[in-house]
Amino acid sequence: MLVVMEKDATKEQIDSVITAIENRGYTARPIPGGDRTAIGVLRNKGAVDASVFLGLPGVKDVVPVTKAYKLVSREVQKEDTVIRVGDVLIGNGHMVMIAGPCAIESETQALTIAGHVKKAGAHMFRGGAFKPRTSPYSFQGLGEEGLKILAKVRQETGLPVITEVMDMETFDLVEEYADIIQIGTRNMQNFSLLRRAGKARKPVCLKRGMAATIDEWLMAAEYIMEGGNSEVILCERGVRTFVNHSRNTLDISAVPVVRKESHLPIIIDPSHAAGRRDQVIPLSRASTAVGAHGLMVEVHHEPDKAMSDGAQSLYPEQFAGLCVQVRAISDLFKGDEGF
Ligand code: PEP
Ligand code: MN
C-alpha cells in the first residue's frame, strides 16, 4: 500500500505518518517524488486498514498496490527513475552506450579498447575483473588487479566504469572501485548478494536471470530497493530457449513490459544474448527502437586473442558504426510520449 501525501505536507506530517505505519509493525519507505512524497507500506502480511492513515493530517490518498513488487512498481512511482553516474544520466530518454571487453586482461588491453570506445561515443566502460565462468579451468579474471586497471581507465579517459560482483567476499572491494556494480545473470536470485547490494552506495545493474520471468526479475530488484538502494538499472541479456542459432534469445518484448510495470531504467546487452558477432548490431538496432535506455556491448580490438567471449565481441570500428546508427534511430523517437 502507498500513502500519498498532499503537495504541501510538512516534514512533521510525513514523520507522523511514518511513525503511525511503524507502530503497526510495518516498514515505512518514504519515496520523495517530483511534487509530492509518497510513503510505501512494506512487510504487511495481508491487507492493511487504509482508513487509519486516511485520517492523518497531510494525507491525500491511500492507494493499494496490486503487484507483489512494490518499490520497483509504477504504481508506487509514476515518473521514470533517472540515475546519474558522473555526467551520465541513465533513464532520461537518451541512449547510454556502455562498451568494453568481456574481461579485463591487461592494462594495455583495457586502455586500448577504452580509447576506441570513447572516441566512438561510449558514455561508460565495461569490463569484468571477477568472471563467472562455466568451466573452472577458464580464465577467471584478474580480480583486484583488474579493478585497479578499471580505476586507471576511468582516470585516463574520464569514463565511469561498470564491473560485476560475484560474491559477498569481494563485495566491499568491487563497491570501492566500480561506478556501477553489476549483478550477473547467474546471481539474479542470490538473495544475500541482493540484500548486500541494497546497502551499497553505488547504483546496481541487475541482469535478468537466463531463465527468469519478468516478475522474478522485478522481485529481485525489489530486494535491492527494499534494502535501501533505489538506484537499480535492469539489464535484459537474453534467456534460454530451444534455439541453437544464438547463445540465448533476446527477449525484446521485455522492454515495453518492464517500462509499463516499473519506473526503473532498462538497458539491453545484445552481446550475451547473441553470443556471436554477426547478430550484435541488428539486435542493438532493435533494442534502440524498442525503447531501451541504453546498450551494453562487448568490444575487443583483438577478439581472436580475447580470453573470454571473443566470438561475440565487436571490432572497434563496428562499434563506432553502431553508435552512429543508434543515434539516428533514437533521434527518430525523440519526444515520443508513449515511447
Ligand atoms: C558479463 O556481462 O560480463 C556477463 C558475464 O554477463 P551475464 O551475467 O549476462 O552472462
Ligand atoms: Mn562476456
Residue-wise pLDDT for 293-336, tens only, equals 999 999 999 999 999 999 999 999 999 999 999 999 999 988 77
Shortest-distance ligand to the CA of residue 313? 2
* Closest atom of ligand 1 relative to the 187 alpha carbon: 8
Does residue 147 share a domain with residue 9? Answer: no
Last residue of some domain: 63, 98, 115? 63
SS (H, E, C) the chain: CEEEECCCCCHHHHHHHHHHHHHCCCEEEEEECCCCEEEEEECCCCCCCCHHHHCCCCEEEEECCCCCCCCCECCCCCCCCCEEECCEEECCCCCEEEEECCECCCHHHHHHHHHHHHHHCCCEEECECCCCCCCCCCCCCCCHHHHHHHHHHHHHHCCCEEEEECCCCCHHHHHHHCCEEEECHHHCCCHHHHHHHHCCCCCEEEECCCCCCHHHHHHHHHHHHHCCCCCEEEEECCECCCCCCCCCECCCCHHHHHHHHECCCEEECHHHHHCCHHHHHHHHHHHHHHCCCEEEEEECCCHHHCCCCHHHCECHHHHHHHHHHHHHHHHHCCCCCCC
Average of pLDDT values for 85-95? 93
Residue 8 falls within a domain, yes or no? yes
Q: Is 75 within the bounds of a domain? A: no
Relative to the CA of 208, which ligand 1 atom is closest?
9
Per-residue pLDDT at 338:
56
Given a cut of 80, whether residue 47 has pLDDT beyond it is no
Q: Residue 74 falls within a domain, yes or no? A: no
Ligand 1, atom 10, lies closest to the CA of 185
Tell me the C-alpha distance between 31 and 130, whole Å: 34
pLDDT score, position 160 = 98
Is residue 134, in this structure, part of any structural domain at all?
yes
Higher pLDDT among residues 304 and 31, named by residue: 304
Residues 122-165: tens digit of each pLDDT = 999 999 999 999 999 999 999 999 999 999 999 999 999 999 99
Residue 77 counted as domain residue: no
Same domain, 59 and 193: no
Mark whether 208 and 135 lie in a shared domain: yes
Distance 8 CA to ligand 2 centre (A): 49
Q: Mean pLDDT across the stretch 7-26?
A: 94
The residue among 265, 217, 221 whose CA lies nearest residue 238 is: 217
Q: Do 59 and 92 belong to one domain?
A: no
Mean pLDDT score across all residues of the chain: 95
Report how many domains make up the chain: 2
Q: Which stretch of 34-38, 216-220, 247-251, 289-293 has the lowest confidence by average pLDDT?
A: 34-38
Residue 46, pLDDT > 80, answer no
Does residue 76 sit within a domain?
Answer: no
Residue 68 lies in a domain: no
Q: Which of 161, 269, 308 to mutate to test the pocket of ligand 1 (most atoms within 8 A of CB)?
A: 269
165 plus 260 within the same structural domain: yes
- pLDDT mean over 80-103: 96
Q: Which pLDDT does position 320 carry in this prediction?
A: 98
| CATH number of domain containing 11 | 3.30.70.1140
Amino acid at 223: Y
Ligand 1 atom with the shortest distance to the CA of 238:
9
pLDDT digits (tens, 9 = 90+) for 105-122: 999 999 999 999 999 999
Section 44-72 average pLDDT: 87
Residues 56 and 104 grouped into a single domain: no
Lookup result for grid cell 503487484 = 67
Tell me what the mean pLDDT of segment 166-182 comes to. 98
> 133 CA distance to ligand 2 centroid (A)?
9
On whether both 58 and 116 belong to a single domain, the answer is no
Higher pLDDT among residues 54 and 93, named by residue:
54
Both 235 and 135 in one domain: the answer is: yes
Residue 64 pLDDT > 90: no
The domain in which residue 29 lies consists of 2-63
pLDDT for position 42? 86
Give yes or no: residues 135 and 167 share one domain.
Answer: yes
| Cα(235) to centroid(ligand 2), Å | 14
Q: Are residues 150 and 28 in the same domain?
A: no
Would residue 73 count as lying in a domain? no
Q: What is the pLDDT of residues 221-274, one digit of tens each?
A: 999 999 999 999 999 999 999 999 999 999 999 999 999 999 999 999 999 999
Give the mean pLDDT of 78-106.
95
pLDDT at 233: 98
The answer to whether residues 160 and 125 belong to one domain is: yes
We report the CATH number of the domain holding residue 156 as 3.20.20.70
Beta carbons of 99 and 319 less than 8 angstroms apart: yes
What pLDDT does residue 162 have? 98
32 and 149 in a single domain? The answer is no
Q: What is the structure's pLDDT at 339?
A: 55
